[in-house]
Amino acid sequence: MEEVAFYRDDSLPFLEAKRCRKNDLAYQKHFHEEYSIGLIDEGETQAWCEGVLWRVEKGRMISFPPHMLHACQPADAAKWAYKMLFLKAQWFDHLELPEMNRLEMPFLLEKGRNAACSMLLNRTMEGLTEGGSPLEIETGLIELVHTLVTKHVSDLAHEPYGSLEQNYVKRTKEYIHAHYTDRITLDMLERQTGISRYHLIRMFKKSTHLPPHAYQNLLRINHAKKELKNRRPIADIAVDTGYYDQSHFSKAFAKIVGATPQAYAMSV
């Protein structure tokens, strides 16, 4: 693995990710054009931010809004590794989150939310580095931001859900059924339904108990099972169903079916 690596997806132009494993790398005072959210994987650092010094240990997250001056100095003789997401400010305009003003200052999270946000950040990095779909990656990002800014995550069961919401979900499902082998993005679903991607995800999960990307994945797997019964080559099926490669397809298939595509094909 490279000491410093960057990850991007052309379908998600608002996002860039960075992974660093370089013990002697210190950063002088600087700022980013984007909103940045980071997680310390190894070691610890002294993070200076506009005159205030923060101690950020392994497993802790920290965030900076755009143009906030900061600097980082890793602890001496310690392994130093971290992940960072950079999100363009314009992307947040699509979310319509009333709590967004809480992102206007850097902060370290309390233990419970820190653990939840760490899991979601790692899920985003995994999606970017292992060929996850744009729908999956951006959904994880929205869940991360929601967890960052919401003090008390509301129970979806208490949210109103009527005929209008059912119509939005129906239109979303129809689009996914028609395009499940494509690289669907939340921007596409937003344009199809006319509602923000944040509210779309919440409505869809309340109705189906799944986020849109997981629903799309199930359609892909069910299609793949039919194709495997026809003895088609696994590599061809992986491409036709929209997976990044055969390895990614095999992992996704096994999580749903409980067997690899090869084992499934040999048993039918």
* Tokens, residue 56: 């950020």
Element (H, E) at 74: strand 70-74
How many Cα atoms are found within 13 Å in the side-chain-facing hemisphere of 113?
A: 17
Between 3.40.50.150, 1.10.10.60, 3.30.930.10, 1.10.1740.10, what CATH number should domain 222-267 receive?
1.10.10.60
Q: List pLDDT tens digits, range 141-160.
A: 999 988 888 765 443 334 44
The identity of residue 88, as a single letter, is K
Q: List pLDDT tens digits, range 194-220.
A: 988 988 998 999 888 999 999 999 999
Cα–Cα separations (whole angstroms), residue 216 to 12, 133, 193? 18, 10, 17
* pLDDT value of position 134: 93
User: For residue 40, which of 117, 131, 102, 100 has the smallest C-alpha distance?
Assistant: 117
Where residue 24 falls among pLDDT bands split at 50, 70, 90?
Answer: low
Where residue 99 falls among pLDDT bands split at 50, 70, 90?
Answer: low
* pLDDT value of position 217: 94
Distance between CA atoms of 47 and 60, rounded to whole angstroms?
12
pTM of the model: 0.81
* pLDDT value of position 106: 57
- Any idea where the domains of the chain sit in the sequence? 4-149, 156-209, 222-267
What is the homologous superfamily of the domain 4-149 according to CATH?
Regulatory protein AraC (2.60.120.280)
CA 15 to chain centre: 10
* pLDDT value of position 78: 66
* pLDDT value of position 123: 93
69-78, 207-216, 228-237: which range is least confident on average? 69-78
Where residue 85 falls among pLDDT bands split at 50, 70, 90?
Answer: very high
The percentage of the chain sitting over the pLDDT mark of 90, rounded to a whole number, equals 48
